[in-house]
Structure 1
């Protein structure tokens, strides 16, 4: 029995050997070209490796509570659902889990079981494919955590294909739309902060979770960068930002001359318990913008306009903090201007002239 680190195409995996069987599990980490950052990445990979090896030893030696190892799927889902929103796909999908399957020990779940469950979701629930995929993905995440917790040795969803979903068109704003929004006020202290945060997100591609955690200590006006820990991936990201965004931050800094490094850049957005979507929707309508305004639209806008401006996929991937380039590639479907420019580069074939001669 053993666990080793294995690197393939800059991705770091755990290579696991136990009982005559070998398989690999992704660590979610990527080798960095920056030597200093790569040392931190490899240190984290080694921690994951040692934790995995320790959990395997504990399971095989009976050091982990047998009751925990023998926990059933329903019990584990309920345990991991504690504290989560009622809208979380793990909780919303649980009723279908109960309807479509029998309770089963976590250790008894196989890849075939998971394949059958995905098929049942699609064929017996009447739910949209995207919804089925969301519920199945919640289980995938649960299995990965179960492996980390030592509840199971191998992730049964590993290698099972995802539920195919129709590709959705990602909306985005054109620069003239952003200018319309910038010219349209939103009333109230929170509304004003929502407007500032959204416009800044259009310039940087930050998620709402990242905007909420953004502090002045992460801004370097000299280097024109933001340093932050992404809330979704928990990774440190160093973002170069455009001059316009720096000028925008300068204006906000002038409004708050007594700020400290620990202060939030968008304090009302960061601390409110109010649903801010209605602010965005009404603001967009008043500004005459066709798209339904939401926080992720700003991120889509930043990604798409970067690609339309000639940035390559790999660079955009790093700027957005995506772990997979396939996630970034979704934004290429809407870059119509680049498609048209590519078509316009084609030479004339002379078909009009030749046709005229025949006539």
Structure 2
């Protein structure tokens, strides 16, 4: 079961009603033979002002969004409690496999790569446990420590290779996330993850472009014009691929003498307000219908990835860049310009400051290199002072 919030179109008074949509799996239409989603809706006594003009209306919108999210969370808790029989003494006898599967199904609506990690984690859990079912009662400190050891020392990929440390960390973190969610929903009260160390991932090298390289890239020809605009837009705003790809004109608003993008992050689901600079505005192109995507035609494919590398080579850049390099570029350039790390963290939409600190390490490395590479002024006679 997935429950999402839907904001309806504005009525004649400029108010947008809020309702919940319940997704209950799918079924085969007997007439057409096609798969169709099971959906039901619940109207809430809440609304948003379509174009808030006063502080009071903007405050109303924030409170209405909070209230809608609280109701959604309550309904999801009620559903999970009823589904798994998690009331009273039956709580720990419920299936952790089923609960983990329900979260995995919800993730299918989001990032494909994130969903695949949840799917793989469940597969490894079942390989490790070796029994048809696993209850919440069995997922204790000892179980987590043994599963942690399994991921590090025993688990293998499809090609029979050991899991990388980052993959080990990702899989173990999904189990931790599921248990943390169960605790937040009141399904369990003694969370064993607090007593088991996480698997520390390796810090992968962040590939970013300098300002000079970014200018060279802007001048170089790219086979896919929308890819060029989207990559440069990401480098100018710090938006992730997932948010650039789904950005619609409805989310682009006039704000004072400029523009602001108001969107909900696909990865974290957090609502973000981002003022857009003039360069980024020009990269978006001419405004279209509200429901149209700003970067219409932008796709994730091997062809686009290959073109990204070819485009970089045409600009004289030998770095192995990906679309995410644009986001790294934005962070490094902002920090290099003296923007404080807290502001950069907010602009990137990070939920934790420590996620942003990796970029501060890059800046410190650049500063150290600049000091070490300072020219040897004593290798040649000093010029005459002239006095």
* TM-score between the two structures when normalised by the length of structure 2: 0.65
Q: 1:159 to 1:324 in 2, by over 3 A?
A: farther
Where in structure 1 are there 5+ consecutive unaligned residues?
1-34, 345-359
Distance 1:62 1:340 in 2: 56
Change (3 A) 1:285 1:247: same
Matches within 5 A, 1:90-239: 90-103=118-131, 104-125=134-155, 126-147=162-183, 152-158=188-194, 160-187=196-223, 191-221=224-254, 222-239=257-274
1-structure distance, mates of 2:219, 2:137: 58
Flag the 1:46–1:95 CA change in 2: closer, same or farther, 3 A. closer
The CA RMSD over aligned residues, in Å, is: 3.8
CA distance in 2, matches of 1:47, 1:156: 28
Q: What is the alpha-carbon distance in structure 1 between the residues aligned to residue 334 and residue 188 of structure 2?
A: 42
Larger displacement relative to structure 2 (46-55 or 193-202): 46-55
Aligned match of 2:356: 328
Q: 1:99 to 1:215 in 2, by over 3 A?
A: closer
Q: Partner of 2:293 in structure 1? A: 264
Shift of 1:153: 4.4
The answer to which structure has the higher helix fraction is: 1
Higher alpha-carbon deviation: 174-183 or 98-107: 98-107
- Residues 56 and 150 in structure 1, CA contact (< 8 A), matched pair in contact too: no
* Residue 170 of structure 1: how far off its partner (Å): 1.3
> How many pairs were matched up?
299
Secondary structure in 2 matching 1:260: coil
**CA distance in 2: counterparts of 1:81 and 1:55, whole angstroms:** 16
Give per-residue Cα distances to partners, 1:118-148, cap 9 Å, x unaligned. 1221123332211110111222233344446
Greater displacement, 230-239 / 80-89: 80-89
- Greater RCO between the two (CA within 8 Å, min separation 6)? 1
